[in-house]
Amino acid sequence: MCKKMMHYKRYQHWNRKGDVFVVCVDEETTPIGLVCGNSGYNHKRTKPKLFYLLFLCLISFSFFLAPQLFTSHHKFSLLYSFSSEEGLVSKSDFNACSSVSNGSICCERSSIRSDVCVMKGDVRMDSASSRITLYRNNGHENGEVLRHEKIRPYTRKWEKNVMDTIDELDLVVKGEHSRIHQKCDVKHDVPAVFFSTGGYTGNLYHEFNDGLLPLYITSQQFNKKVVFVILEYHAWWIMKYENVLSHLTEYPIIDFSGDKRTHCFPEAIVGLRIHDELTVNSSLMGNDKTIRDFRCLLDRAYLPRIRSLIQDEERDARMNMEKHVSLPSSETKMDEKQDLKKPKVVIIARNDSRAIMNEDSLVKLIEDVGFHVEVLRPQRTTELASIYRVLNSSDVMIGVHGAAMTHFLFMRPGSVFIQIIPLGTDWAAGTYYGEPAVKLGLKYIGYKILPKESSLYDEYDKNDPVLTDPNSVNDRGWEFTKKIYLDRQNVRLNLGRFRKRLLRAYYHSVANESLRFRHQSQ
């Protein structure tokens, strides 16, 4: 399959049938429809052919764009997003508003993922009218609107259904004399970043991909000297991520709708910049930051809380020892020391669909290979610092494809991430988690299950397309993908097959530990 076809397939959420319209060849040949110049023949003799070829160019180009321009937005889904290869713009376009003169507004709208507007000068927030106004020194005596922009500050711009639920802001530029009607209640001397925590907030993947990482990308340049103003404000979200947010801003966070005061800023960034799935593209960052820098921020954010958790556990252990005079036997202590020397595997277990049906047997197999095993069952109420502590100290993370795989961000670079890939989720598993994990520096191992390892094998005939051709089922629409492959599928691993992946992970972990030891001893 040619390179262009491979790229276009990543737009499955638009219309995979659109593949037939792509005119594609390998990199060393010339695509039909793009041979639009003089081919070396006499110009006069080939003029009719030239017009014919130009006509073919136009038709081919139209066919190529057709799926993107005319496919309805409701086909977009949580499962089928896209890669930055086609979804983003160049560095120069992406940073078009990196330098904005005083009294000006600049909007970046070329990205498929999000719109971002920058206002610089006398910026005033009015939540009652959902308006942010920039007053410009231009000599106008009246309240004439010099410029008006609209924006929904959320990072899933292409997905109309969810964007319709995001509050829209009016960005207005007015003359300086109209400012007397909007006095400042609170005056800030640092910029503001306006964004929404609506949409898919509540899902771990979206909280990081659509929220925290774009917030880091957009705000880290200010070195915490920035105010966050949140639309669709959720107190629980602030509590959940307060450790991280405190490393992005040192100022109180403003609830846009709940705070009726007029806040004034010297600059406002409305909307968040986003690069790709769960990653940071250093080429689009002015200071060459990467996803590893974001993970270092997570380290700094959670370390104080982790230390507190350890102290609490040590205190509880001392209290228990005082209550129970008998101390652990020497044999128990020896077993604990041996476990500490073993590489550690953490299984991220699911409690609903896509569960591992033979989990107990899997745990035993992992122990037989030579690992220490911990099964983690995250709940909505589980403190992220405690999850971070477990994964940050582990060598391997294992889990079935789903939002919880976002926890790979908590793994140390050099660790192993084994993702179990159920039927019908190949593309999403690789795009959302596999490729980003590699960018973070993890060793990624995908385990694609066979039809017999799926619970669907017991429900469908062995020749049913659900088992033999999942792509054809996915082509029918998101509702079929969700209903069949996400909501109704569990896995029963072939432990013989899976053992091979475990051995690769084990040897990698042992080699990693040996390398770490050598570095420490030098």
The whole-number pLDDT of residue 95 equals: 65
The whole-number pLDDT of residue 328 equals: 57
Report the C-alpha gap between 14 and 73 in whole angstroms.
8
Whether residue 115 contacts residue 89, with contact meaning beta carbons closer than 8 Å, is answered with no
Question: Which segments within 233-315 are labelled E, that is strand?
Answer: 254-255, 263-270
The whole-number pLDDT of residue 13 equals: 39
Enumerate residue ranges in the chain where pLDDT < 70. Answer: 1-95, 138-143, 178, 180, 323-340, 521-522
The whole-number pLDDT of residue 182 equals: 79
The whole-number pLDDT of residue 289 equals: 95
Which tokens in the block code for residue 300? 């700094």
pTM, two decimals, is 0.80
Which tokens in the block code for residue 427? 């593309």
The whole-number pLDDT of residue 22 equals: 31
Report the C-alpha gap between 386 and 476 in whole angstroms.
41
The whole-number pLDDT of residue 316 equals: 77
Interacting residues of 72 by C-beta distance below 8 A, sequence separation 6+ = none
Whether residue 255 contacts residue 246, with contact meaning beta carbons closer than 8 Å, is answered with no
Burial of 503-517, coded b for 16+ CB within 10 Å and e otherwise, reads eebbebbeebeeeee
User: How buried is 493 (Cβ within 10 angstroms: 0-12 exposed, 13-18 middle, 19+ buried)?
Assistant: buried
Residue 168 DSSP SS3: coil
Report the C-alpha gap between 133 and 258 in whole angstroms.
18
Which tokens in the block code for residue 122? 């006398």
> What are the angstrom distances between the C-alpha of 439 and each of 293, 432, 455?
12, 12, 32
The whole-number pLDDT of residue 318 equals: 80
